[in-house]
Structure 1
C-alpha cells in the first residue's frame, strides 16, 4: 500500500512538472534576438522535455506500483493477506514470489521454531515470534520465593495465522500480549504444586509439568511446544544454606545407619558361626557311645608300633639296668 501511495505522488509530481515546462514561452529564451526558427526549435525542445518528464514519471510510478503487487515468502513463513478496509482475504504459506492487489498488504508470521527466553534482569525485546525478557518470580508449595530462568521453543501451524491476526494483529503483538503472559502464569502455577525440596532436587518433574500445561493450553491456538528448558532455580541464600545443612545431616545419618547395618551383619555372622560349632560339638558328643570309644581304642592299638599294653587294674613293672 505504501508503494501505491508513493507511485501516485510521483505520477502527480511528474504531471505538474511536465505542465509547467510545457507552458514555458520560447521568446523568453531568446531575449528578443532569436530568429523564428530558433524559437520553433526551442518550443519543440520544451514539448519534448515535457513529454519526457511525463513519461518518466509514469514509468517510475508504474514500476513502484508493480512492486506493491508482488511479495515473497521464505521457507518457514506464512503471509496473511489484508485488504485496504482491514478485512482478511486469506493466507499463503508456500515459499517463493506471489501476487496480490496493490491495495492489499502481506503480513508475515514466522512458523519456524521460535524461542521465548526469560532469564536474569534482561530487558524485554520482541522479534517476530521470539522474545527475551526478565526471569520469572515464583512461590512454591512450601511458600518459599525463587527466581527461574526458563526457555520455551515453540512453532506455529500455518493454518492458524489468520485467526491469530484477527485476534492480535502482528506476530510481535501476539507474542508480547499472549505468549509471554501465558508462559509466566503457567510457570508460577506449576511451581505452586511443588515444595522447595522437589524444586531443588527434581527439576525434571517441574520442567515436564510446565511443558504439559503449555502444550494443552496452546494446542487450540495452533501452537506446538517443542521443548521447555529450566536453566536455573534461584532461592535466597538462607534457603539454599539450610538445604545444604540438611543434606549434610542426611548424609551423616545414612552413613551411621550403614555402619549399624554392617555391625548387625557381622554380629549375626559370628553368632551363626558359633552356633554351627556348638551344634557340631553336640552332634559329636552324642555320637561317642561306649562301644564307639572301645572300637576307637582297639583301632588305635592296632595301628600303634612299639606299644606295650597293660591290662586294666595291674601295676606295670619296668626293668632298668
Structure 2
C-alpha cells in the first residue's frame, strides 16, 4: 500500500492499522503474482528469421516489488496501469524480437524450450529495474499461419522422399554387394572342385555310380573316364 497526498507518493505502508489525513489516498499494489495472458485477441503475431508468420500465446506472471512501490507509482499510478503500460508492451516486443532471431521450425518445434527461456530472461531483465518481478513466463502455444503450415508440410514431405530415396539406394548397393560376394564364392568353389577332379577321381566316381545302377539291372558294359578309356563290365547280380 502506498499513501499518496496531492499526487505525491509517500513511504510504503506495512500491514496493520495506519492513520491518514483526509487528503491522502492509498494506492494498493498487489505483491501476489498477477497473470498477463497474451492469447485470444492478444495473441502475438511474430515473424521468424525466414519471414514465416506464427501466432504465439504467452503467459507472464509478475508482481510488484514492495521496495520499489514509489518508483512504480511514478511510472504507472495503478496495478492495471503497470500491466497495460509496462508488462504488456514490453513482453510483446521481446517475444517478437526473440522469434525474429530463430527459424520457423525452431519456433514451431525444435527450439521451443530454448526460445521460452530466452524470452523469460529478457522480460525479467527489462522489468526488474522498474520494480516489477517476473516469476514465470510460459510459452503456451505456437501456431504457424496457414501459408507457413503448407511450407512446413511440403518440406517434411521432401525430407521423407529424400530419406526413402537414400534408403532405396543403400538397399540396392547392399544387394549388389551381396551378389558380388556370392558370385566370388561360387567361382572359388568351382575352381577348387575343378582342381580336385582328376581323371582317376572321375573314373572312380563313374564306377561307383554304375555299381548303384547295376543293382537294379543285369550285367552291362559302360565306358568310364575319357573317350579312349577301357569299358568297365558291371555285374549287377553280384554285391
Q: TM-score, normalised by structure 1?
A: 0.54
1:120 counterpart = 2:20 = no
1:208 counterpart = 2:120 = no
Counterpart secondary structure, 1:194: coil
Unaligned runs of 5+ in 1: 1-78, 122-133
Partner of 1:232: 142
**Rg larger in structure:** 1
Of residues 72, 92, 109, the one that matches 2:29 is 109
Deviations 1:94-139 (A, max 9, x none): 5xxx121222544222222321112233xxxxxxxxxxxx222333
Q: 1:261 to 1:86 in 2, by over 3 A?
A: same
Q: Given that residues 91 and 162 in structure 1 are in contact (C-alpha distance below 8 angstroms), is that contact kept between their aligned partners in structure 2? A: no
Q: TM-score, normalised by structure 2?
A: 0.70
Q: Given that residues 113 and 153 in structure 1 are in contact (C-alpha distance below 8 angstroms), is that contact kept between their aligned partners in structure 2? A: yes
| Rounded Cα–Cα distance in structure 2 between residues aligned with 1:144 and 1:289 | 76
Unaligned runs of 5+ in 2: none
1:249-264 correspondence runs (5 A): 249-264=158-173
Q: 1:231 to 1:100 in 2, by over 3 A?
A: same
Deviations 1:176-221 (A, max 9, x none): 1111110111011112112334333436143333223223323434
1:275 counterpart = 2:193 = no
Counterpart secondary structure, 1:176: helix
Of residues 154, 166, 169, the one that matches 2:62 is 154
Counterpart secondary structure, 1:152: strand
Deviations 1:20-77 (A, max 9, x none): xxxxxxxxxxxxxxxxxxxxxxxxxxxxxxxxxxxxxxxxxxxxxxxxxxxxxxxxxx
Q: 1:117 to 1:203 in 2, by over 3 A?
A: farther
RMSD between superposed Cα atoms in Å: 3.8
Partner of 2:93: 185
Q: Given that residues 2 and 9 in structure 2 are in contact (C-alpha distance below 8 angstroms), is that contact kept between their aligned partners in structure 1? A: no
